[in-house]
Amino acid sequence: MDLNIKVNEKNHLDIGGVDAVEIAKKYGTPTYVIDENRIRDNYNRFYNAFTKYYSDFKVFYACKANTNIAVLKILEEEGCCVDAVSPGEVYISKKLGFSGDRILFTGNNIKDDELKEVADTGALLNIDSVSALKRLAKIVDPDGMKISFRVNPMVGAGHHDHCITGGVMSKFGIMDSEAVEVYSLAKDLGFNPVGMHSHIGSGILDPEPFKLAISSTMDIAGKVHQEADIEFEFLDFGGGIGVPYTPTENTVDIDKFAKENVALFKDKLKEYKMNNPTMYLEPGRYLVADAAALLVSVNSVKQSYRKFIGVDAGFNTLLRPAMYDSYHHIVVANKMNEENTEEVDIAGNVCESGDLFARDRPMPKIDEGDTLAILNAGAYSFTMASNYNTRPLPKEVLVSNGETIVVREEQTYDDIFEKQTMPEHLK
């Protein structure tokens, strides 16, 4: 089993050297618990795998996966860069010390004010459409400004249809057939187009789609290099590298993945007689997914038509199961040594039938008061949480060298209503 699970001598779940049951007791539930060292390990494993085969390589963390400021700062310290998809992500990255040249802004359907806002920060704009290019030319001085374009490499993959971002049904990127024209237009407008980007989807464990995407993106880049006379400073192949969520899935063999993709990249550089641009990748999930768990408490055990284990969080806290039908492995943090004895449904506290974390899940006997840990809750988990059902966003705790530190307080009810205003006539 490749899931990141550690057990201590009390048969409790261990997160970064701390007993998860103690964390739940101390901070209450629901609480997201983030393991600092795991993030550092994930980053270094990834970075070292690629630099072993191609030294001119940079990692741009796709921060929509997790924007806790401690998580961002940990990666900043490691030397990572950021891929931001909104002005808000650019804003917080800059504030935390990422310089403009360490931020790539890959927005889509961005309005003029936002383009201007991001351009002013010094982040590099990765343009998604001719529309955005032409609008940008009117609102900034293009004079030599470095930009890149997102292309659609006509390959898509992902753990769910919603997460496939390449191919004919995708809203992302410029078409391969218009690439030469768009890069030429960018030059004519006075920009300095130095990069090309593609990103085919998210949660991909199969290495084949990446190879197809790299190959296809390199063909587009090669053509642009030759026909629009562009000397690329970087080529960016996006993120999407999956992690195992179920006990039977395997981790991506990252050394092999790096070796094969770099070889392909180098072959294509040679084929199109390109200089040696920097290779960028943009993992989000890979860096943070298995570095956090969501701790919840069992508050009710109900035997009706099915056996329901009711917990104190719902899809407002962790949306992936309801939104993507995603599997998250769930363990009983205080009973790690017990065998599975029954199949249960693990249900949240939101008033909707779709609010389930697991259906027919083999589990040990669960009692009220038990602490469950929903694993792999570091990516697309807190960042997708909401106040639905007027539930406050939960706490986040960082485990750092055996110590626990609150890195986000739980919201209060007043926080939820803070920005609402009562019209005069209703006062």
Q: Does residue 30 have a cis peptide bond before it, meaning omega lies within 30 degrees of 0?
A: yes
For 306: left if phi > 0, alpha if psi spans -120 to 50, otherwise beta; the answer is: beta
Catalytic residue (one of 63, 80, 81, 351): 351
Scanning residues 125 to 184, which ones bind ligand PLP (CB under 6 A)? none
Name the β-bridge partners of 62.
Answer: 83
State which of residues 180, 241, 366, 407 lies at the interface with ligand PLP (CB under 6 A): 241
* Beta carbons within 10 angstroms of residue 362's beta carbon: 11
The token duo for 371 is 């602490």
CB of 412 to ligand PLP, least distance (A): 31
Can residue 320 be called a binding residue for ligand PLP (CB under 6 A)?
no
Q: Are 84 and 104 in contact (CB under 8 A)?
A: yes
Q: Is 63 a catalytic residue?
A: no
State which of residues 284, 314, 378, 394 lies at the interface with ligand PLP (CB under 6 A): 284
Q: What is the DSSP letter of 43?
A: H
CA 426/CA 276 separation, integer angstroms: 65
State which of residues 93, 202, 216, 349 lies at the interface with ligand PLP (CB under 6 A): 202
Nearer to ligand PLP, 218 or 346 (CB): 218
Nearer to ligand PLP, 27 or 172 (CB): 172
131's enclosing H/E stretch is: helix 130-139
Scanning residues 330 to 389, which ones bind ligand PLP (CB under 6 A)? 379
Query: x/- string (CB under 6 A) for ligand PLP, residues 81-100?
Result: --x-x---------------
State which of residues 285, 335, 361, 408 lies at the interface with ligand PLP (CB under 6 A): 285
Strands (E), 304-427: 307-311, 330-332, 342-347, 356-363, 371-374, 395-400, 403-408
CB of 44 to ligand PLP, least distance (A): 17
Burial of 86 (0-12, 13-18, 19+ CB in 10 A): middle
Place of tokens 């106040």: 387
Scanning residues 52 to 81, which ones bind ligand PLP (CB under 6 A)? 62, 64-65
Can residue 238 be called a binding residue for ligand PLP (CB under 6 A)?
yes
Q: Are 85 and 107 in contact (CB under 8 A)?
A: yes
State which of residues 283, 310, 314, 394 lies at the interface with ligand PLP (CB under 6 A): 283
Nearer to ligand PLP, 164 or 397 (CB): 164
Nearer to ligand PLP, 27 or 280 (CB): 280
Query: x/- string (CB under 6 A) for ligand PLP, residues 12-51?
Result: ----------------------------------------
- Residue whose Cβ sits closest to ligand PLP: 284
Q: Sheet containing 18-19: give its strands across.
A: 6-7, 13-15, 18-19
Q: Residue 296's closest CA among 310, 313, 309, 280? A: 313
Burial of 182 (0-12, 13-18, 19+ CB in 10 A): buried
Written as one string, the DSSP assignment of 220-271 is: HHHHHHHHS----SEEE----B----STT-----HHHHHHHHHHHHHHHHHH
Can residue 199 be called a binding residue for ligand PLP (CB under 6 A)?
yes
Binding segment for ligand PLP (CB under 6 A), chosen from 66-74, 235-243, 356-364, 398-406, is 235-243
CA 315/CA 186 separation, integer angstroms: 43
Binding segment for ligand PLP (CB under 6 A), chosen from 185-193, 198-206, 307-315, 355-363, is 198-206
CB of 242 to ligand PLP, least distance (A): 7
The token duo for 425 is 């006539």
Query: x/- string (CB under 6 A) for ligand PLP, residues 386-425?
Result: ----------------------------------------
Point out which residues bind ligand PLP (CB under 6 A). Answer: 62, 64-65, 83, 85, 106, 199, 202-203, 238-241, 282-286, 379
Residues known to be catalytic: 351
